[in-house]
Amino acid sequence: MRYIRLVILLLLNAVHAAKIHLDLAWAQGSIKNRSSRDVSCREGFEYEHDNICCLNCPAGTYVKKACVAPSEKGVCEPCEFDKYTEHDNGLRKCLSCTKCRIDQETKEKCTNTQNTQCKCKQGSFCLPDQACEVCKKCRRCREDEEVEKSCTDTSNTVCRKRSSSGNSKSVTLIVVVAFIAMLAFIVGIVYWTKSKSSKKAVTSRSPREMVRICMGDSEEVKEESQNAHNSKMDDDSQFQPFLEQNYVEREPIRRLVPLNGEESLKKSFDFFEEMDVHYHSRFFRFIGLSDNSIKSAESLFPEDRVYELLKIWMEKEGLKADFNSLIEALIYLDQKMSAENIITKAIINGYFKYEDE
């Protein structure tokens, strides 16, 4: 009986010890879980790893190996080529650089501390407050409008209605220019008439005219032959064969006629974007535009510049504005290929046809 009591007592002690051990283990687990939840690292300065806070790696690097003690920095590794991190971080790898889309161009290349900066190509834009999924084409002002602000990669073209005062100014300018041209024409005719009559007077003199020269009180008459005039005529006759030999007659151009009058000419202006941009200034001077008119359109895109200056030319020429004059100007400037392409487009689109067809 005594042995039985001893065994029961030992069993009770073992059960009590096991219960105490289980209670301690549960308490330790609770403390550990609570400490894991209570870890709070400083945002922007530290990152959490194994319930401790490690210092961030600098921009341009990433965390290759975390720290083993709180408030220490682990092993930071520089980003590889075409990778980056812009700020201090606790990242395990660097971010991949962005590739610009086909409708964009690179504004700033990617570095280990900055992502690629892209912008829309010339002639297109994306608003900065919207997601730039695709670049939109810049607006072109209508005929009754003018450009107030040119298109940029972040803003569309801003147009405004043409003011009546601007139209009256242009009409006044045309009248003044026409008056000056007429005055110059009259002066030229008068000068040409006078010079012609003076040449006739010189050539009508005898080739052996007597020239009287006064020498003090005595008069001595000398006869001088007018060989200068004869020698000039001889020189002209010598150069004449050379001029005839070097004169090259240009190939005659087949004339085109509009199928819809003035509207055909206006619609054909878009085809002159074909022209080499390096010939723009010479072309517009050749067809009679002033330097001021050409400079006023320098801020526009090349295709808009050509369209606007051709409209100014058409207003200046009025009824004399002719598609054939523009083609002849291109051919004169050795832009025959551009001229042929423009003629082909004008015929295909039904704006013009050859006069002899």
Q: Alpha-carbon distance 167 to 53, whole Å?
A: 73
Q: What's the pLDDT at 120?
A: 95
Q: Does residue 249 sit within a domain? A: no
274: tokens are 């074909």
Residue 341 domain-assigned (yes or no)? yes
Residue-wise DSSP of 201-221: HHHTS-TT-EEEEEETTEEEE
93: pLDDT confidence band, cut at 50, 70 and 90?
A: very high
Query: For residues 30 and 71, which has the higher predicted lDDT (pLDDT)?
Result: 71
On whether residue 57 sits in a domain, the answer given is yes
The verdict on residue 66 lying in a domain is yes
* CA atoms within 13 Å, Cβ hemisphere of 76: 17
Instruction: Write down which residue in 55, 70, 96 finishes a domain.
Output: 96
Q: Which domain holds residue 76?
A: 46-96
Position 355 confidence tier, pLDDT thresholds 50, 70, 90: confident
Task: From 32, 63, 96, give the residue that closes a domain.
Answer: 96
Give me the CATH number covering residue 56: 2.10.50.10
Residue 132 or residue 205, greater confidence: 132
Calculate the alpha carbon distances from 90 to 177, 209, 235 in Å. Answer: 73, 109, 93
Share of the chain above pLDDT 70, in %: 75
Examine residue 203 and state whether it is found in any structural domain, yes or no: no
CA 253 – CA 354 distance, rounded (Å): 10
Residue ending a domain, choose from 35, 69, 96: 96
Q: What value does the mean pLDDT take over residues 138-145?
A: 92
Using the predicted structure, report yes or no on whether residue 330 has a pLDDT greater than 80. yes
**Is the pLDDT confidence value at 20 over 70?**
no
- Residues 6 or more apart whose CB falls under 8 angstroms from that of 297 comprise 304, 305, 308, 309
Q: Range with the lowest mean pLDDT among 184-198, 247-261, 298-312?
A: 247-261
Residue 92 covered by a domain: yes
The answer to whether residue 29 sits within a structural domain is no
Number of domains in the chain: 2
Inside any domain, residue 325: yes
pLDDT digits (tens, 9 = 90+) for 214-242: 334 444 434 444 444 444 444 444 434 43
| CATH at residue 340 | 1.10.533.10
Residue 31 has pLDDT above 50, yes or no: no
Task: Tell whether the torsion through CA atoms of 293, 297, 298 and 304 is positive or negative.
Answer: negative
Q: Is pLDDT larger for residue 215 or for residue 269? A: 269
* Rounded (5°) CA angle 173-177-183: 145
3-state secondary structure of 121: coil
Beta strands in the chain (DSSP E): 46-49, 52-55, 61-65, 75-78, 83-84, 95-96, 104-108, 117-120, 124-125, 136-137, 145-149, 158-161, 210-215, 218-223, 256-258, 352-354
Axis-axis angle for helices 302-317, 164-203 (nearest 10): 60
Query: How does the average pLDDT of the chain come out, rounded?
Result: 80
